Structure 1
Amino acid sequence: MFSKLRPLIFKIDPEKAHTLAIKSLKFNLIPSVFDEIKDDSIFKTKLFDKELDNPIGMAAGFDKNAEVYSALFKLGFGFVEVGTVTPLKQYGNPKPRVFRLVEDQALINRLGFNNHGAEIVKNRIKLDNNLGLLGINIGPNKDTDDRLNDYLIGLKTFYEVADYITINISSPNTENLRNFHEESKLQELLKCISKEKNDLNSTIPIAVKISPDIHEDQVNQISEILLENEIKAIIVSNTSEATRDKLGNIQRHQKGGLSGKPIEEKSNVLINKFYKLLKGKIKIIGVGGVDSGQAAYDKFTVGADFIQLYTGMVFKGPNIARIIKKDLKELLIRDGVKNYTEIIGNKTLS
Structure 2
Amino acid sequence: MSMIEKLGLAALHRLDPERAHDLSIKALQRGLVPLEGGAVTSDRLRVDLAGISLPNPIGLAAGYDKNGLVIAPLMRSGFGFIEIGAATPRPQPGNPRPRLFRLTGQQAIINRFGFNNQGADAIGRRLADRPAGVPVGLNLGANKDSADRAEDFAQVLRIAGHSADFVTVNVSSPNTEKLRDLQGADALAALLDRVLAARDGLARRVPVFVKIAPDLSDAEIADLAAVVLNARIDGVIATNTTLSRDGILGPHAGQAGGLSGRPLFMRSTRVLALLHRQTRGAVPLIGVGGIGSVDDVWEKLRAGASAVQIYSAMIYQGLSLAPRLARGLDARLQDQGMTLAELTGSGAADWS
Match of 1:48 among 31, 47, 50: 50
Q: Please say if 1:17 is aligned against 2:40.
A: no
Match of 1:115 among 110, 114, 117: 117
Q: Within 2, Cα distance between the matches of 1:123 and 1:196? A: 19
Letter in 1 for 2:110: I
Corresponding residue number in structure 2 for 1:159? 161
Corresponding residue number in structure 1 for 2:206? 204
Q: Please say if 1:323 is aligned against 2:328.
A: no
Q: Within 2, Cα distance between the matches of 1:190 and 1:6? A: 40
Q: Within 2, Cα distance between the matches of 1:9 and 1:228? A: 46
Paired-residue identity, %:
35
RMSD: 1.5
TM-score norm. by structure 2 comes to: 0.95
Q: Please say if 1:175 is aligned against 2:177.
A: yes
Q: Please say if 1:145 is aligned against 2:147.
A: yes
Letter in 1 for 2:114: G
Kindly state the Cα deviation for residue 119 of structure 1 after the two structures are TM-superposed.
0.5
TM-score norm. by structure 1 comes to: 0.95
Superimposed CA distance per residue, residues 14-38 of structure 1 (whole angstroms, 9 cap, x where no aligned partner): 1111101111111111122278x93
Q: Within 1, Cα distance between the matches of 2:235 and 2:212? A: 11
Corresponding residue number in structure 2 for 1:269? 270
Corresponding residue number in structure 1 for 2:131? 129
Structure 1 unaligned residues grouped into runs of 5+: none
Superimposed CA distance per residue, residues 251-283 of structure 1 (whole angstroms, 9 cap, x where no aligned partner): 111000000000001011010001111122211
Q: Within 1, Cα distance between the matches of 2:201 and 2:188? A: 20
Q: Within 1, Cα distance between the matches of 2:14 and 2:175? A: 25
Counterpart secondary structure, 1:159:
helix
Corresponding residue number in structure 2 for 1:295? 296
**Cα gap change, 1:132/1:34 in structure 2, threshold over 3 Å: closer, same or farther?**
closer
Q: Within 2, Cα distance between the matches of 1:199 and 1:327? A: 41
Contact 1:292/1:324, CA 8 A, preserved across alignment:
yes
Q: Within 1, Cα distance between the matches of 2:326 and 2:289? A: 17
Q: Within 1, Cα distance between the matches of 2:204 and 2:146? A: 26
Corresponding residue number in structure 1 for 2:236? 234
Kindly state the Cα deviation for residue 329 of structure 1 after the two structures are TM-superposed.
2.8
Counterpart secondary structure, 1:160:
helix
Q: Within 2, Cα distance between the matches of 1:184 and 1:41? A: 42
Corresponding residue number in structure 2 for 1:32? 35
Kindly state the Cα deviation for residue 51 of structure 1 after the two structures are TM-superposed.
2.1
Corresponding residue number in structure 2 for 1:224? 226
Runs in 1 of length 4+ with deviation above 4 angstroms?
none
Q: Within 2, Cα distance between the matches of 1:262 and 1:158? A: 34
Q: Within 2, Cα distance between the matches of 1:194 and 1:33? A: 36
Kindly state the Cα deviation for residue 202 of structure 1 after the two structures are TM-superposed.
4.3
Q: Within 1, Cα distance between the matches of 2:343 and 2:255? A: 37
**Cα gap change, 1:197/1:245 in structure 2, threshold over 3 Å: closer, same or farther?**
closer
Kindly state the Cα deviation for residue 73 of structure 1 after the two structures are TM-superposed.
1.7
Q: Within 2, Cα distance between the matches of 1:239 and 1:307? A: 15
Corresponding residue number in structure 1 for 2:344? 344
Corresponding residue number in structure 1 for 2:309? 308
Q: Within 2, Cα distance between the matches of 1:329 and 1:199? A: 39
Structure 2 unaligned residues grouped into runs of 5+: none
Counterpart secondary structure, 1:12:
coil
Q: Within 1, Cα distance between the matches of 2:185 and 2:246? A: 30
Kindly state the Cα deviation for residue 172 of structure 1 after the two structures are TM-superposed.
0.3
Number of aligned residues: 347
